[in-house]
Each structure stands twice: as structure tokens, then as C-alpha cells.
């Protein structure tokens, strides 16, 4: 009897289900949609909006700013649905209205999406907010983008209201283009991907021992010699200043600010190989510490050999010679001229062969030069040994005490703990690429932490935001870059965007599945973490 009852209830449920799916499309309520990063507030209401070929886009507000938002949005909708949405000037029914309203308040990046049966209204006080709203909205469209649907299709969006704003102002990713060079097209591709998750800073690690990747007109050998190779001895490459400007502009259109890094005074072999004048030639810390024949490194003023290995910490600029500061100033000046964003990153990590008494004044002079050219200094946490300006930012990656020292000097910290946020760490022991020196970082490890819980002296108000660095010693292709970045980057993006009390692994691990389906449709080479039950 019991069995019969349960069989019949299953049958009833099946019939009800098939009836529902024939007569009307199944709609996932707004609050259970798979939005990443999770918005601050989502309220359901009874009803549905049908996105279809008659839906019009209406843009209210300064048109010079609105065009970009509307065009970006239309192109995302087209790629997901095949619908070619038209525009209308008037606020009207069956429209998605984007409204730039300075009195909306709530901060520069906040937005509201109000979905009613006959109209969707998206409001923000700044274009960035509208852009983020568009990213959220495209995640609501019930398709994986698997094929271009015919224009007769309707896409049902549940009604309700989303109100949202980020926890942190800086939500970043770093790409190391020095160890392996990535051409402009790969960087643009990465920008497209991270913009979907409301990342707003892309830090480019433009120089290291193995390669110098940005044209500096006053020191041309940096790229012709210093940029000529990479880890493993491949061809290398570099961005001309025009290439760099193109990346900056492309990123800007997706509300992403480029943070250029020139790593100094260590991690500079590519510069020393290009210009021997920068080589102190006295640095032989201990026998065997240099990863190559030290014929030249030991000779003051001689260019070093190019380096294609993966050791760190063996090189340094000559911190005592005036020519070094001419070099640093030229590089910072040229970089500042082509960088509209507020930050220049001076590196400062792992300068193991620079004596502390030389390191400190070097960092302070570099910081002064960044300030002279109108920018704020960023540096890896070691820079806190120097006297930091309150406008400077120390990027915590390894030593908590350094981060605390920076805070005590009035500077803010950017949180990139290598044990949690390093995208070049392997997922598990079977991962083919990446490193293990900091940790193995599975998807739940990348998700289950909070910047305010690392150290009691690193408090919410000291933190500018979160950044996930992708070092590239072991990466050889765009596919490798994708594999280590996804799905961990969305996890870090949620830590940076969504307030701590709203986040949970259970919820995230359910929502990420839907993204996996879209990534499949895009042909993205992501890691199918066993921590998630993928669709
Ligand atoms: C440490 S993180 C480095 C990089 C390496 C990375 C590899 C940091 C500031 N320095 O030079 O690429 O480890 O994981």
C-alpha cells in the first residue's frame, strides 16, 4: 500500500511536471538564480518578463556614456540568445530601460534591477553600476548560449528586484606576462571573461628575470634584448606602447583598470641583460645561488646572460648608482603617461640579494617617483620595510607582519594570500600545470576564507580589496590560463564583491554549475572540480 502510494504520487508529480513544462516555461525564481557574485539583495515577485525580438533597449542619461553600456549589453544578449535587440528613445512597455540617475546614490558601483511583467528598469548613479547590472542580468537569461536560437524565441525572466553593491572597491586579478608572454588577444580574452564576474582591476606583471614586456622608448634594449625570450627558452615578446594602450582601452570599456607592474629592485635580470650599467656586479650571495654561469653577473657594469629558468631572488638593480634612478624615472614616467589608472606597481618582492639598507632607500625613491608622475604606489608586502606613503598600497601575499607594518604606516593593503588566492597553485596533486609551494587550492579552499579573518590586525577598513594572481612559469597557452583561472576566479570575485555574511560554500557550489554550462558552450578549458556536482 505504502509502495503504491508513493508510486502514484511520483506519477502525479510527473504528469504535473510535464503539463507545466508544456503549457508554460518553467521559471526559476529570481532569488534562486545562479548569480555570481551573489547580489546584496534579491526579492522575488509574482510574474515573468518575456525577453524576445520585440524587446527594446532604452538608455536614459548622458548618451555619450550610455552607448557603451547599451552596445555591450546588446552584444552579450545576442551571443546568448541570438536576439538582435533594437533601441527605442522613449520609456515604453516591453523595454529594458537603463537609467543613469545621479541621485540614485548608493556608491559608484551600485545598481538596482527592477523586473516587472511589462518592463525592466535598471538604475545606477554611474556607468559602472549599469555595467555590473548588465552582467547580473545576462546571468538571468535562461540559456547556456549553446547555439544561436531563432529570433522567435522568448526567454523568460522572473520578476522581482535586485539591489546590489560591492563589498570591496578593488576586485582584481593579476596576469604574469613576463615568465610566459601572452599576446594582446589573449589578454583581451581574459578581460572578457573576468568582466563577467565584476572584476575591476587587471594587474599586469610586465617585467621579471625572464622577460621585459613593455616598450620603454628611452631604453629600447629592454624589449629588443630583455623581451626576446621567456621561461623554457621560447621566443618571448612584448607590448609596444600602442599595444598597451589598446589593452588599457579595451579594459576600460569593460570597467577594468589596468595596473602595470615593473618589478624592482629584484626580479630584474631581463633589465640587467639589456643594460649592463644597471648591474651592481657584486652580488654573489652564496656559492651556487645564481642560476646560471656567473661570468657576467659578478662583473660590475656588464650585461648578464638572458635567463629562461624559474628560480627567483638572484638579481638586483644597482641601488647605489645614479644611472639606476634615471632608469627607474624614465620607466615610471613613460608608463604613467600611458596608464590612466591610479596605480603603478613597483614589485619589491623577493629581493634576496639586495641588502636591506639598500632596499629601503630604493623603494622610497621609487615611491617618490611614482608620486611625482601623479600615481599611487603599489608593491608586494615586503615594501612595508620602507617608509610608505598613506596613499600607497601593500599587496599581502606572504608575510602577515609586513601587511601589518604597512597598516601601521597608514597605508592600505590588497589581499592576495598565496595559500588561498594564488591561481598558479595546483588544484590537487594530479593537476598537470601550476605549483604547490604555497598550497594545493581546490575550489572550496579558494572560496572558504575572508580577508578580515587572516590576522586580527588586518581589519576591514585597512583592506582596499582582493586580488588573485596568476603566475605564469608553468603556463604555455591560453587554455592553460583558462584552466587555472576557472572556476577559482569566480570564487575570489565573490569574496571581493559579496559581503561575508551572505556567502556560503553550499550556495556557491550550487550556483557555479550553471556557469559551467555556459563555459562548456563557450569552449572554455575550465577545471571540473570534484567538489561540485556539475550538470
Ligand atoms: C612567488 S608571489 C613570486 C613570483 C613567482 C610565484 C610563483 C611573489 C610576489 N613572487 O615571483 O612567480 O611565487 O608562484
Tell me the three-class secondary structure of 110-179, residue by residue.
CEEEEECCCEEEEEECCHHHHHHHHHHHHHHCCCCCCCCCCCCCCEEEEEEEEEECCCCCEEEEEEECCC
**DSSP strands (E only) in 340-462:** 343-347, 376-380, 393-396, 412-415
- Give the distance (Å) from ligand 1 centre to CA of residue 37: 27
- Alpha-carbon distance 319 to 375, whole Å? 22
Residue pair 499/460 in contact (Cβ under 8 Å)? The answer is no
Q: How far is CA 515 from CA 79, 120, 198, 237, 487, in A?
A: 15, 23, 14, 33, 9
Looking at 350, 364, 382, 400, which residue is catalytic?
350
Q: What is the pLDDT of residue 290?
A: 58
Q: What is the pLDDT of residue 143?
A: 85
Q: What is the pLDDT of residue 144?
A: 82
Q: For residue 425, which atom of ligand 1 is closest to its CA? A: 14
Name the closest-CA residue to atom 11, ligand 1: 312
C-alpha cell belonging to residue 391: 596613499
Q: What is the pLDDT of residue 357?
A: 96
State in Å, rounded, how far the first CA of the chain is from the last one: 35
Low-confidence spans in the chain with pLDDT less than 50: 1-23, 151, 283-288
Name the closest-CA residue to atom 9, ligand 1: 349
DSSP 501: G
Q: Give the H or E element holding residue 59.
A: strand 56-60
Would you tell me the crossing angle of helices 322-337 and 356-372 to the nearest 10 degrees? 40
- Whether ligand 1 lies within 6 angstroms of the CB of 527 is answered as no
- Whether ligand 1 lies within 6 angstroms of the CB of 435 is answered as yes
Helices H / strands E in the chain, number of each: 15, 17
- Whether ligand 1 lies within 6 angstroms of the CB of 380 is answered as yes
Pick the CATH number of 24-164 from 3.20.20.150, 3.30.379.10, 3.40.47.10, 3.30.230.10: 3.30.379.10
Q: How far is CA 446 from CA 5, 56, 167, 422, in A?
A: 45, 40, 18, 9
Residue pair 240/215 in contact (Cβ under 8 Å)? The answer is yes
Name the closest-CA residue to atom 4, ligand 1: 471
Q: What is the pLDDT of residue 473?
A: 98
User: Quick check: bond before 265 cis, omega within 30?
Assistant: yes
**442 in catalytic set:** no
Q: What is the pLDDT of residue 59?
A: 96
Question: Minimal CA–CA distance to 471: which of 174, 171, 194?
Answer: 174
- Phi, psi torsion values for 490, nearest 5 degrees: -60, -30
Q: Give the H or E element holding residue 367.
A: helix 356-372
- Whether ligand 1 lies within 6 angstroms of the CB of 197 is answered as no
- Whether ligand 1 lies within 6 angstroms of the CB of 419 is answered as no
The 10s digit of each residue's pLDDT in 336-394 is 999 999 999 999 999 999 999 999 999 999 999 999 999 999 999 999 999 999 999 99
Q: How far is CA 312 from CA 161, 267, 281, 309, in A?
A: 51, 7, 17, 9
Name the closest-CA residue to atom 12, ligand 1: 471
Q: Which residues contact 281 (CB under 8 A, 6 or more apart)?
A: 297, 298, 299, 300, 301, 302, 318
Q: For residue 422, which atom of ligand 1 is closest to its CA? A: 14
Q: What is the pLDDT of residue 297?
A: 53
Q: Give the residue carrying C-alpha cell 650585461.
A: 303
- Phi, psi torsion values for 262, nearest 5 degrees: -115, 115
Q: Give the H or E element holding residue 513.
A: helix 505-522
Residues in the chain: 535
CATH H-level, domain 170-505+518-522: superfamily: Glycosidases (3.20.20.80)
- Give the distance (Å) from ligand 1 centre to CA of residue 267: 10
Give the start-to-end residue ranges of the domains of the chain.
Answer: 24-164, 170-505+518-522
Amino acid at each position: 500500500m505504502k509502495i503504491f502510494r508513493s508510486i502514484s504520487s511520483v506519477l502525479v508529480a510527473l504528469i504535473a511536471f510535464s503539463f507545466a513544462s508544456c503549457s508554460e516555461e518553467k521559471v526559476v525564481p529570481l532569488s534562486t538564480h545562479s548569480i555570481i557574485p551573489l547580489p546584496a539583495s534579491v526579492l522575488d515577485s509574482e510574474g515573468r518578463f518575456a525577453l524576445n525580438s520585440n524587446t527594446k533597449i532604452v538608455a536614459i542619461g548622458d548618451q555619450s556614456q550610455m552607448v557603451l553600456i547599451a552596445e555591450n549589453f546588446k552584444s552579450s544578449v545576442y551571443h546568448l540568445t541570438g536576439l538582435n535587440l533594437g533601441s527605442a528613445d522613449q520609456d515604453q512597455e516591453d523595454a529594458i530601460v537603463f537609467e543613469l540617475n545621479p541621485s540614485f546614490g548608493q556608491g559608484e558601483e551600485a545598481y538596482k534591477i527592477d523586473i516587472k511583467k511589462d518592463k525592466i528598469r535598471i538604475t545606477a548613479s554611474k556607468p559602472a553600476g549599469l555595467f555590473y547590472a548588465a552582467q547580473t542580468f545576462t546571468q538571468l537569461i535562461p540559456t547556456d548560449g549553446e547555439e544561436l536560437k531563432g529570433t522567435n524565441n522568448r526567454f523568460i525572466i522572473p520578476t522581482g528586484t535586485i539591489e546590489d553593491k560591492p563589498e570591496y572597491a578593488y576586485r582584481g586579478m593579476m596576469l604574469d606576462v613576463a615568465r610566459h608572454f601572452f599576446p594582446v588577444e589573449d589578454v583581451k580574452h581574459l578581460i572578457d571573461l573576468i568582466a563577467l564576474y565584476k572584476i575591476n582591476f587587471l594587474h599586469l606583471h610586465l617585467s621579471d628575470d625572464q622577460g621585459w614586456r613593455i616598450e620603454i622608448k628611452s631604453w629600447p634594449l629592454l624589449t629588443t634584448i630583455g623581451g626576446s625570450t621567456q621561461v623554457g627558452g621560447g621566443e618571448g615578446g612584448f607590448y609596444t606602447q600602442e599595444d598597451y594602450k589598446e589593452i588599457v582601452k579595451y579594459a576600460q570599456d569593460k570597467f577594468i583598470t589596468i595596473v602595470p607592474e615593473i618589478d624592482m629592485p629584484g626580479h630584474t635580470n631581463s633589465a640587467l641583460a639589456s643594460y649592463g650599467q644597471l648591474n651592481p656586479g657584486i652580488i654573489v650571495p652564496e656559492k651556487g645561488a645564481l642560476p646560471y654561469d656567473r661570468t657576467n653577473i659578478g662583473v660590475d657594469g656588464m650585461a648578464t646572460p638572458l635567463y629562461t629558468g624559474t628560480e627567483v631572488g638572484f638579481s638586483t638593480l644597482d641601488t647605489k648608482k645614479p644611472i639606476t634612478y634615471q632608469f627607474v624615472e624614465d620607466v615610471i614616467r613613460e608608463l604613467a603617461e600611458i596608464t590612466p589608472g591610479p596605480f603603478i606597481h613597483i614589485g619589491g618582492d623577493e629581493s634576496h640579494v639586495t641588502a636591506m639598507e639598500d632596499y629601503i632607500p630604493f623603494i622610497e625613491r621609487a615611491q617618490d617617483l611614482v608620486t611625482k608622475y601623479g600615481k599611487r604606489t603599489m608593491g608586494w608586502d615586503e615594501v612595508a620595510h620602507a617608509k610608505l606613503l598613506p596613499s600607497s598600497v601593500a599587496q599581502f601575499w606572504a608575510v602577515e607582519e609586513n601587511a601589518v607594518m604597512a597598516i601601521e604606516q597608514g597605508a592600505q593593503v590588497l589581499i592576495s594570500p598565496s595559500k588561498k588566492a594564488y591561481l598558479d597553485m595546483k588544484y590537487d596533486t594530479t593537476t598537470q600545470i601550476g605549483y604547490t609551494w604555497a598550497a594545493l587550492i581546490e575550489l572550496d579552499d579558494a572560496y572558504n576564507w575572508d580577508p578580515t579573518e587572516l590576522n586580527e590586525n588586518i581589519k576591514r577598513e585597512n583592506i582596499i580589496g582582493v586580488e588573485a594572481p596568476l603566475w605564469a612559469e608553468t603556463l604555455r597557452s591560453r587554455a592553460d590560463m583558462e584552466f587555472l583561472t576557472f572556476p577559482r576566479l569566480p570564487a575570489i570575485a565573490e569574496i571581493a564583491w559579496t559581503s561575508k555574511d551572505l556567502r556560503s560554500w553550499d550556495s556557491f557550489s550550487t550556483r557555479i554549475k550553471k556557469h559551467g554550462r555556459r563555459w562548456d558552450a563557450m569552449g572554455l578549458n575550465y577545471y571540473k572540480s570534484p567538489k561540485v556536482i556539475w550538470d
